[in-house]
Amino acid sequence: MQISNITSISNITSITTESSLKIGVVTDVHWADKDANPVGHLQNYRDAKKKLGAAMSEFESWGADMVIELGDFIDEGYDGTVWDEIDDVYTDTTISPLKYAIGNHDATSESERTSWKTKTGNSSSSYYSFDIEETHVIVLDGLYNSSGDFDNTTPLYISSTQLTWLENDLDSTSNKIIVFCHYPLYDQSDISNAGSVRTLLEAKGSSNILAVINGHEHEQKSTTVNSIDYYAVDANVDSPFPTAAYAQVTVTDGVFSIENFTS
């Protein structure tokens, strides 16, 4: 399968739904008390608190109904103290609910994933779903190897147990659906069995899937695969403060839209 026509996200509209919802999306915060990375994505780790705070302020001003953080909240694997330092910024808001997806920098072992689940209020599972304003939200976990054990280096997989859960979850809802995952699912660049996820989504029908949204790539993208729209949100960590990247998702008056910002 060839992916083509990847473009910057700006006022993209698609499928109709009767719900009314505003979702703030922030990803790849990478909080760490260390010097900025001078190469690659130029991560400004020590600016993470201020940059996340700026995004959360924008979400509050906008009137967000919920916010989701799409992984790589911290930079060097799970540490409770480090997590609390950045989570205190995230949770200093009146917005509720606040949700999390797990990224490859958030955990380096199964025990760290367990700690992540406890901290994020998802003690039973690192992948989950919920309904808000007549929209069904699914959050996936890509930190598995082909055997279904923990891994955070490619090639990675959506575990077979999770795929079975996803199929059942999709069958259980009549609401329109938004899927979130740290990793892109429009190709197999990170998740080797992403095609299996797409098959399940396509079986549900493109008219029922509003969007699939990821972080990880440190850039904004959009593409459509078999009539389902996929979007990547830019990393909050890149570029020094006051620059802060985030996205605003709206499902209102029968229109889905996403705007990606670098303030």
If you ran DSSP here, which 8-state letter would residue 48 be given? H
Query: For residue 113, what are its two tokens?
Result: 């994933």
Full domain range(s) for residue 53: 12-262
pLDDT at residue 42, as a whole number: 67
In the chain, % of residues over pLDDT 70: 90
Query: For residue 196, what are its two tokens?
Result: 């299996």
Is 241 among the domain residues?
yes
pLDDT at residue 40, as a whole number: 65
**In degrees to the nearest 10, what's the CA dihedral of 113, 115, 118, 123?**
40
Is 7 among the domain residues?
no
pLDDT at residue 41, as a whole number: 67
Query: What's the total number of domains in the chain?
Result: 1
Residues 6+ away with beta carbon under 8 Å from 234: 27, 218, 219, 220, 245, 247, 260, 262
| pLDDT tens digits along 116-158 | 999 999 999 999 999 999 999 999 999 999 999 999 999 999 9
Is 76 among the domain residues?
yes
Look at residue 81 and tell me whether its pLDDT is greater than 50.
yes
Q: What is the mean pLDDT of residues 183-206?
A: 97
Look at residue 86 and tell me whether its pLDDT is greater than 70.
yes
Q: How confident is the model at residue 263 (pLDDT cuts 50, 70, 90)?
A: low
The residues pairing with 191 across neighbouring beta strands, listed in sequence order, are 156
Is 6 among the domain residues?
no
Backbone angles phi, psi at 202, to 5 degrees: -70, -30
What whole-number distance in Å separates Cα of residue 244 and Cα of residue 235?
A: 8
pLDDT at residue 1, as a whole number: 43
CATH number at 52 reads: 3.60.21.10
Is 1 among the domain residues?
no
Q: How confident is the model at residue 254 (pLDDT cuts 50, 70, 90)?
A: low
If you ran DSSP here, which 8-state letter would residue 46 be given? G
What whole-number distance in Å separates Cα of residue 249 and Cα of residue 203?
A: 24
